[in-house]
Amino acid sequence: MSFAHIAALAIHDVKNSLSSIATAAESHGDKKTVKAVFDISDTLTRLLIFYRSEHESLHLNINSHAPEDLISELTANQYGTSDIQITSELSHAPVLWVYDEMMVRMILVNALQNASRYARSVIVISAKEYPDYLEISVQDDGPGFSDAVLAEDYSNIPASQNGTGLGLLLAKRIAALHVNNSQRGRIELSNQNGGLFRLILPA
């Protein structure tokens, strides 16, 4: 058994232990610990999915979903501090779109967590339908992405401040697995009055 396979099994065990810790913390009303545990669990989930993508064992569950429902769910959750307002813009969202909802949710949760670290007061999640693709974006009003992130040079991102870059790298892989009519999904990052994360899913 390879080290990578053992590590994947260990991640499953750690996530089970974290679930027990979260349950105990919730019973004592310790919301801060519950949030920290869920953040750690999310990171481990991304690591496990990244492992699967490396070994070509990651398969999407593609189906029809309502982007408005997913974004409304994400907007209702608090991913930053209490003084950051998370709003949505859905006036141009399609009724239905075809994608893997669990994977897309994971991408957007990671984008929201990143945005919440730097937003000054507002994060906006939006969905907009174009003739050939759906765009779901996360816009914050912070200082914007660093040059290293925009250059996709994740090796120069300090792990202590900005994470490891794993979430962005995994988002690229998951987006690219969404294929239709030879068009692949992708993510795009830019600075427009803050950081702008865009997930592009083909029609």
Residues 68 and 165 in one domain: yes
Angle (CA) 64 8 107, round 5°: 35
Domain co-membership, 44 together with 90? no
Question: Closest by alpha carbon to 194, among 138, 129, 132, 113?
Answer: 138
Q: What percentage of residues in the chain have a pLDDT greater than 70?
A: 89
* Alpha carbon distances (Å) from 115 to 27, 29, 60, 130: 29, 26, 26, 25
Same domain, 143 and 81: yes
Asked whether the predicted pLDDT for residue 81 surpasses 80, the reply is no
Give the pLDDT of residue 201: 98
- Amino acid 113: pLDDT: 86
Per the structure, the complete domain to which residue 71 belongs is given by: 63-202
* Residue 75: predicted pLDDT: 93
Q: pTM above the 0.85 mark?
A: no
| Residue 191 and residue 108 share a domain | yes
What is the token pair recorded at 51? 């492992």
Pair (151, 189) in one structural domain? yes
At 181, is the pLDDT very low, low, confident or very high (cuts 50, 70, 90)?
A: confident
Alpha helices for 1-100 (secondary structure H): 3-27, 31-54, 67-76
pLDDT for 151-173, tens place per residue? 876 555 544 444 556 788 889 99
pLDDT of residue 3: 66
Mean pLDDT of the chain: 87
* pLDDT given at position 120: 94
- Verify that 67 and 45 share a domain, yes or no: no
Distance CA 50, CA 174 (A): 9
- Mean pLDDT over 112-138 rounds to 95
- At 201, give phi and psi (nearest 5°): -120, 125
Write down the pLDDT at residue 79.
63
Same structural domain, 11 and 37: yes
